[in-house]
Amino acid sequence: MKKQNMNRDWIATARTLSEALPYLQRYDNSIVVIKLGGHAMGSDEGMEMFARDVVLMQMVGVNPVIVHGGGPMINAMLDKLDIRSEFVNGKRVTDQATVEVVEMVLSGTVNKRIVQAINAQGGKAVGLSGKDANLVVCDQTNPDLGFVGSPNRVDPAILHTLFESNTIPVIAPLGAGREGETFNINGDTMAGAIAGALSADRLLLLTDVSGVKNKGGEVLTEMTAQQIRDMTDEGTIAGGMIPKTETALHALEQGVRAVVILDGRAPNACLLELYTEHGAGSLIRLT
């Protein structure tokens, strides 16, 4: 009986690989930008699984780009260092002391954890931030919020160089100001700007929810930009989902073919989205 079950498992695995062929062909030589949120990083086991999926994606012809957040890790370090923050309309003011901690955590601890995880799975990853090679030049978003930036110019030349050497970029959401300042950038905004500059085939926003939900609480698997606008106007899309859908709309306007909002805590979420018929989360297109 045990041998029969094993044979059945192997047959199911072979069938899954065979059914994935059209999608493997579909994404060959494509660019997929993945935003990995701080809450979606999860356990060491979850990080290992994510890294394995990313390496597999590259092995079958995808050029993956990872943009990560790290809000919970930043908060923990600020508390540890006893650095108190002021808030304006619920948003943290990033002063000089805070932005130094933000850079230390994002470009250091968080970035290198992801790089190490990918390398441990046989990939070749390099960590950088928007400050490297003038990847992202920022304007100050709001003087009241301090060193918080909005991407003004993205130069993806360094990313294409890394693609040519089969290297996976892992990018911390920091950018340089016109006077050389360091700016903290919202991770979703950063991912959208980079995806737009690359004319990416997909932008995957990995978060801690299963997707965009309708009034009944059901996840919508496919949506248009106009549906997003209508649901936002009527209040169905609200709270923390608004920045993600705004990022999606902006990325689509910049030339990204489709954006998917999905639960990064789900096992093999990226593979399910790219290489299965049913996908995962909410896929958003212009029309």
Query: Alpha-carbon distance 33 to 169, whole Å?
Result: 10
- Give the separation between CA 40 and CA 66, rounded to whole angstroms: 13
pLDDT at 61: 94
As a whole number of angstroms, the distance between CA 16 and CA 85 comes to 50
Q: What is the pLDDT of residue 6?
A: 53
Report the alpha-carbon distance of residue 80 to residue 64 in Å, rounded: 34
Selection from 273, 207, 212, 270 nearest residue 40 by Cα: 207
Other CB atoms within a 10 A radius of the CB of residue 84 amount to 9
Domains and CATH numbers, the chain: 31-285 (3.40.1160.10)
pLDDT of the chain, 287 residues: tens digit per residue: 555 555 666 677 667 777 777 777 888 899 999 999 866 676 888 899 999 999 999 999 999 999 999 888 999 999 999 998 887 776 788 999 999 999 999 999 999 999 999 999 999 999 999 999 999 999 999 999 999 999 999 999 999 999 999 999 999 999 999 898 999 999 999 999 999 999 999 999 998 888 999 998 899 999 999 999 999 999 999 888 998 999 999 999 999 999 999 998 888 899 989 988 877 899 999 98
Q: What pLDDT, on a 0 to 100 scale, did the predictor assign at position 137?
A: 97
70 CB contacts (<8 Å, ≥6 apart)? 38, 105, 106, 109, 110, 172, 187
User: Residue 41 has which token pair?
Assistant: 């990083």
